[in-house]
Structure 1
């Protein structure tokens, strides 16, 4: 499978393309990374150097790929953080052009906007941009539970509200939705869940919660789920594999005392996930 991944990039650490590309490659997929920024490290550090590329520069790289005559070979367009209207237009225009030559191509979007711990960390206009332009173009959407609430206006964390929010999102465009960092009020203490929904149904999986926040986990989870789901069309299996790999990646990082994901050291967990968590249909 060929995946065009349009995301940020860092030299140190694993966020954006630096978190998504390697796991997908270990799953056997060909990934064509297009970087929207090239930073020394992610922006949660006290210092960061590098540059953000303009929408025109990103579009130029994508045009170069198109001029090679290989757009028809793209199976998936994957995107992450989108910093403004211009880059969002470049991405959605790219999706449209790819679909002109390959109608079966899938667009998977991770609508990066924030989380329940830190709130919104993107510009004020990004949520409406996601709702109006990006969500309708997507086939797969991978928000965390907080982002799901922002996109739909349904802020409750109980299962019924979360499922209703997912359905309202699916009516707007995406056929499959993965919700990460699901924290139902009635879940067992010390756990966290992930929810996947498509036309065949809805499934949830529960894992122990590692009480540390690592930057880049959403990028990796979105990549893994996309790779599995587009390959086999089975949301429950893709959910089980993603949850297993992510838990072992996060646990390995925590046990190492690292601030950055142990992405390379955990590669066997992507290729051979232990499948240690039961997926329940809801």
Structure 2
């Protein structure tokens, strides 16, 4: 499998491509990373250095990949945080050109906008752009519950309302929706859930909720789920593998006492997930 991943990159720590690439490689996926920024560290530190890469330069890199004859070999286009409005046009153009060269290729979009605690942390135009142009072009989307609500103009909080919002999101274009954090008031204390739905059904998995916030964990989640799903077409299995791997990554990070994901140290969790969580079919 070959993945073209259009995301940010940092030298220190792990977010964007700096979070997604290694786990994908560790499960045997060939990755072509294209950077949208090249920062010293993620912006959560409040200070960083390095350049935003212009949409024209990102497009040039992708064109160079095309000139090497790689487009027919690409199975997945993956995108995450979009720092500027112009990047969306570049991504959508790449999706159109790659799927023309390889009609079986799929586009997986992590529609990064924000979360329930922080609200939106992207430029005001980005959520509208994602909802109106980018998400309808995707085959897979991986929003959190807050982002799912924005995309569908709903307020999902129960399992039933989250499923209803997922159905609305799927009606926008994507056939597969992974909700990366389902927080409903009637869930068991100290737990967190992930939910996925596709043409064959809907499934949910419950894991312990760890007392931490880890930048980049959503990027790892989107990458691993997309690769497993593209490889097998089995949403339940992809959900189980992803939940197992990401939970162990987060557990290792928490135990380390470090702020940044222990991405390399947790590599066995990607290559050989323990499959310690049961996936339950909802419909």
With the length of structure 2 as denominator, give the TM-score of the two structures: 0.99
* Structure 2 residue ranges without an equivalent (≥5): none
Aligned partner of residue 51 in structure 1, secondary structure:
coil
Aligned counterparts of 2:102 and 2:166: Cα–Cα separation in 1: 27
Q: Does 1:271 align with 2:271?
A: yes
Counterpart of 2:94? 94
Q: Does 1:72 align with 2:38?
A: no
Aligned counterparts of 1:156 and 1:201: Cα–Cα separation in 2: 19
Aligned partner of residue 195 in structure 2, secondary structure:
strand
Aligned counterparts of 1:5 and 1:279: Cα–Cα separation in 2: 28
Counterpart of 1:196? 196
TM-superposed deviation, 1:47:
1.9
User: What pairs with 1:1-282 in structure 2 (closer than 5 Å)?
Assistant: 1-282=1-282
Aligned counterparts of 1:85 and 1:45: Cα–Cα separation in 2: 23
Aligned partner of residue 107 in structure 1, secondary structure:
strand
Aligned counterparts of 1:277 and 1:61: Cα–Cα separation in 2: 40
RMSD of equivalent CA atoms = 0.7
* Structure 1 residue ranges without an equivalent (≥5): none
Aligned partner of residue 9 in structure 2, secondary structure:
strand
TM-superposed deviation, 1:46:
3.1
Aligned counterparts of 1:35 and 1:59: Cα–Cα separation in 2: 10
Aligned counterparts of 2:4 and 2:215: Cα–Cα separation in 1: 22
Query: Runs of 4 or more off by more than 6 Å in structure 1?
Result: none
Aligned partner of residue 163 in structure 1, secondary structure:
helix
Contact 2:9 2:37 in 1 (8 A): yes
Contact 2:145 2:156 in 1 (8 A): no
Aligned counterparts of 1:216 and 1:209: Cα–Cα separation in 2: 17
Deviations 1:230-277 (A, max 9, x none): 000000000000000111100100011010000000000001111111
Aligned counterparts of 1:130 and 1:180: Cα–Cα separation in 2: 17
Deviations 1:82-103 (A, max 9, x none): 1233110100110000011100
